[in-house]
Amino acid sequence: MIDGRWESGGGTPRLVVVAGSTRTATITHEGSPISAAGADREAVYHTPSADLELLEYGDVTLAPAVPISPSGCPTPAVVTHAVRELLEFDVTPIDAGLARETGAPTVALGTEPGADIREAAAVANADELFCVGRSVGRALPDSELLIGETIPGGTTTAMAVLSALGERPAVSSSLPVNPLALKRRVVEAALAASDLDAGGAAGAPVEAVHRVGDPTLACVAGLISGASDAGTEVILAGGTQLAAAAALARHAGVDAPLTLATTSFVAEDESAGIELLASDLELELRVTDPGFRGQDHPAMAAYAAGEAKEGVGMGGALWLAEREGVPMCALGDRVERVYNRVTEAIRA
Amino acid sequence: MIDGRWESGGGTPRLVVVAGSTRTATITHEGSPISAAGADREAVYHTPSADLELLEYGDVTLAPAVPISPSGCPTPAVVTHAVRELLEFDVTPIDAGLARETGAPTVALGTEPGADIREAAAVANADELFCVGRSVGRALPDSELLIGETIPGGTTTAMAVLSALGERPAVSSSLPVNPLALKRRVVEAALAASDLDAGGAAGAPVEAVHRVGDPTLACVAGLISGASDAGTEVILAGGTQLAAAAALARHAGVDAPLTLATTSFVAEDESAGIELLASDLELELRVTDPGFRGQDHPAMAAYAAGEAKEGVGMGGALWLAEREGVPMCALGDRVERVYNRVTEAIRA
């Protein structure tokens, strides 16, 4: 360890984080939101932009605030950034359709947020996003790529896409209790609005995203396809949303080995059914437990209680930390430090 | 030294590279171009996009080629990237108005290239670029900021802006022999088209850029202003273009100490008059010689012969390398390695 950093053995992989927005995230039912960020429309739209800034600078710059839930659970970007402070891997943020400006540098592939999936077309430019994502995936020079996402409402669009493809429509949630009934109703309405039955878009991944997905799914599926073409090892850094993107890639003919690196919080969420989903899609599942349980800190306690669970590459970052020999207690210290720093900035 | 990298003492500064295009770069006179890239209109437009990719990935991704002159002189991005391989500083690329897509992540502040300065308005959104540049400069969390540029044709727009402000209109060139007569004619035509005399925009920096500047000048001037406001130490990483941006900042009322870190190639170019310019503008001048003279390599020989001279933060990167104790022979080896790698990719 040098200057508080662990030296990695062979180069560390690049983390690509695909960010976007979908109006699906603003859906509520009798006052209950579909997403942890959903109670506040502005928070929904600012969250992915703020996440990219946190990841790049360790704090927000142009975004109005660090995304933190009312109970004090910070965005998983805090954890991913903490790992980055320890390991210094490269991050490439991709804008697949952000609703708000970000101060972080992004590869701008998208131009507009996704629509509410209960409209006829959810992602008007799905085909373009898939193709340009594939070009980027082919062009990146790395031998190993971690791919993560940040998009509030993304588990609902993931469920809709899994349904449209005829895959197991099991997804996780950023809320402690998964609002599955509401999600199922929204997905049914989405399929109906697109004249699709469950499985109706099997083998037609771009069509599935176009009708009921979100911009990040189209882009991540393209990245997987391009990177696999180029012989790059792909580690999907996330939970059920990344699994849905992998499903799209499988339906696009990608048969390369793919790893899904997720958190123990997703793995312990029975509603997510991540093991069966990974097995269906032939994804090698890697689960990392950051050991936050029982730690006397509001952020750790909130994660341990099942808030947030995944996002912004958290599962992949934890997997990388473990692989590079970072002790989880050192990671916990660093998460605390980042959390205290960014929440102090909020209070000031 | 660990794994071929020098460990820096305190944190290294962030390098912000502001990229853009101006149609001024495509001006030719009797077949002679105004810019090293000017003989080929597509190269002019692709160069800044390719430079950002080189800096981010060590090679081009979406851009068609690594910018290399007919005599084999590579873009200064090769040198800046070589320093980055040794020191691993953060880079934040800003798109102030690129004409072609780039595979590198950028903070997108501009939307369109600048016009030929012989038109009435050269940078339609100069005011917006200055203001948003200032916001970013204020928001960046660093205590020390290097600011560089990449824009073909930039020395001509810099000369026009210096004239409009009433400052010494001395500028360098990316060509071994500075086409000063052509530049002066273009600058005269530019001032005439804008109904400006030399010094006619003194104290009105945004107006000067709007009439006869380019998008990067507006953005860099804003960055200097915002970073100085926030108490950040600013090191201008470049030659006469960065000096012109500093002149804009001075005319906008910035009186903070500013450093101009440039290469020995610019300092040895008598037509550039960088010492007098720096003295006029109260810039602390730091000149770094990478010791390329007499080395038996086509890239080094081309630099030593006065091609390229500066750009993409080269002078600032060399200054940083010297400060952090990287021996110049180690830097030369790394430049060779990067050059050989990217030119091999061209041949393949």
A7 CB neighbours in chain B (<8 A) are 2-3
The arithmetic mean of pLDDT across residues A27-36, rounded, is 80
Q: How far is A92 from chain B (nearest CA, A)?
A: 6
Please give the ipTM for the structure prediction: 0.73
Contact status of A105 with chain B (Cβ, < 8 Å): yes
Residue B299, amino acid: A
Share above pLDDT 70 across residues of chain A, in percent, rounded to a whole number: 95
B3-56 confidence digits (pLDDT tens): 455 554 447 899 999 999 999 999 988 878 877 765 577 888 999 999 999 999
pLDDT at B9: 43
Contact list, B7 vs chain A (CB under 8 Å): 2-3
Query: Amino acid identity, residue B196?
Result: L
Q: Does domain A14-343 have CATH number 3.40.50.10210?
A: yes
Query: Strands B107-108 and B144-150, how do they pair?
Result: unpaired
| Fold (topology level) of B14-347 | Rossmann fold (3.40.50)
- Between chains, do A136 and B103 touch, taking CB under 8 Å as contact? yes
Q: What gap in Å lies between CA A156 and CA A140, rounded to an integer?
A: 30
pLDDT range class, residue A110, cuts 50, 70, 90? confident
Question: Mean pLDDT over all residues of chain A?
Answer: 91
CB contact under 8 A, B57 and A108: no
Give the residue among A166, A154, A216, A164 at the shortest CA–CA distance from A190: A164
**CA A80 to CA B7: how far, in whole Å?**
23
Whole-number CA gyration radius for chain A = 18
A105 with B103: Cβ contact below 8 A? no
Residue A57's closest chain B neighbor by CA?
Answer: B141
Query: Any chain A CB within 8 A of the CB of B294?
Result: no
- Of A345 and A147, the one with more pLDDT: A147
A14 phi/psi in degrees, rounded to 5: -85, 140
Token pair for residue A30? Answer: 């009798």
Give me the residue from B2, B104, B140 closest to A107, CB to CB. Answer: B104
With a cut of 60, say whether residue A322 has pLDDT above it. Answer: yes
Tokens 């080995």 -> residue: A257
Whether residues B141 and A59 touch (CB distance < 8 A) is answered with yes
Tens digits of residue pLDDT in B188-218: 999 999 999 999 999 999 999 999 999 999 9
| Contact yes or no for A107 and B107 at CB 8 A | no
B342/chain A closest Cα distance in angstroms: 12
- Closest of A178, A173, A169, A123 to residue A153, by C-alpha: A173
Residue A13 gets which letter from DSSP? P
Q: How far is CA A86 from CA A332, B40, B80, in A?
A: 11, 45, 25
What is the C-alpha to C-alpha distance for residues A205 and A213, in angstroms, rounded to an integer? 10
Question: Residue A283 gets which letter from DSSP?
Answer: E
Give dist(CA B95, CA B68) in Å, integer: 22
Over residues A212-232, the mean pLDDT reads 97
Q: How many CA atoms lie within 13 A of A37 on its CB side?
A: 30
What does the alpha-carbon distance between residue A289 and residue B196 come to, in Å, rounded to a whole number? 66
E strand spans, chain B? 14-19, 28-29, 32-33, 91-95, 107-108, 144-150, 233-237, 258-263, 283-288
Half-sphere exposure (CA, 13 Å, Cβ side) for A293? 10
Chosen for mutation from A14, A53, A56 (greatest number of chain B CBs closer than 10 Å) is A56
- A4 band by pLDDT with thresholds 50, 70 and 90: low
Using CB atoms and an 8 Å cut-off, which of residues 48-67 of chain A contact chain B?
A: 56-59, 61-62
Tokens for A243, please give them: 């699994």
pLDDT tens per residue, chain B (348 residues)?
444 555 544 478 999 999 999 999 999 888 788 777 655 778 889 999 999 999 999 999 989 999 988 778 899 999 999 999 999 899 999 999 999 999 999 999 988 999 999 999 999 999 999 999 999 999 998 999 999 999 999 999 999 999 999 999 988 988 888 899 999 999 999 999 999 999 999 999 999 999 999 999 999 999 999 999 999 999 999 999 999 999 999 999 999 999 999 999 999 998 889 999 999 999 999 999 999 888 888 888 889 888 889 999 999 999 999 999 898 889 999 999 999 988 876 655
Q: Which of A287, A193, A235, A250 minimizes the C-alpha distance to A16?
A: A235
- Which chain A positions have a beta carbon within 8 Å of B103's beta carbon? 107, 136, 139
CB of A245 within 8 A of CB of A208?
no
Residue in A7, A107, A223 to test binding to B, most B beta-carbons within 10 Å: A107
AA letter at B37: A
Mean pLDDT of A85-95: 93
Beta carbons within 10 angstroms of residue A130's beta carbon: 26
- Test B94 with A105 for CB contact under 8 angstroms: yes
B240-254 pLDDT, tens per residue? 999 999 999 999 999
Residue A1: the pLDDT is 43
Q: What is the CA radius of gyration of chain B?
A: 18
Burial class of residue B117, CB neighbours in 10 A (0-12, 13-18, 19+): buried
Q: Tell me the C-alpha to C-alpha distance, in Å, between residue A255 and each of A126, A141, A166, A230, A234.
A: 21, 21, 18, 13, 12
Q: Give the count of beta carbons closer than 10 Å to the beta carbon of residue B76.
A: 29
Q: Does B322 touch chain A (CB under 8 A)?
A: no
d(CA B55, CA A52): 20
Q: Name the residue of chain A whose CA is nearest to B142's CA.
A: A57
Q: Write down the domain spans for chain A.
A: 14-343
B window 68-97, beta carbon within 8 A of A: 88, 92-94
CB A64 within 8 A of CB A46: yes
Tokens 């180690």 sit on residue = B330
Residue A174 has pLDDT above 90, yes or no: no
Distance CA B226, CA A321 (A): 36
**Length of chain B, in residues:** 348
What's the order of all strands across the beta sheet hosting B144-150? Answer: B107-108, B91-95, B14-19, B144-150, B233-237, B258-263, B283-288
* Contact (Cβ atoms closer than 8 angstroms) between residue A321 and residue A85: no
The pTM assigned to this predicted structure is 0.85
CB contact under 8 A, B141 and A94: no
- Cα–Cα nearest to A117, from A55, A52, A27, A248: A27
CB contact under 8 A, B140 and A104: no
User: What's the pLDDT at B208?
Assistant: 97
Interface test with A, best of B1, B2, B49, B61 (most A CBs within 10 A): B61
CB contact under 8 A, A57 and B141: yes
How confident is the model at residue B37, as a pLDDT? Answer: 63
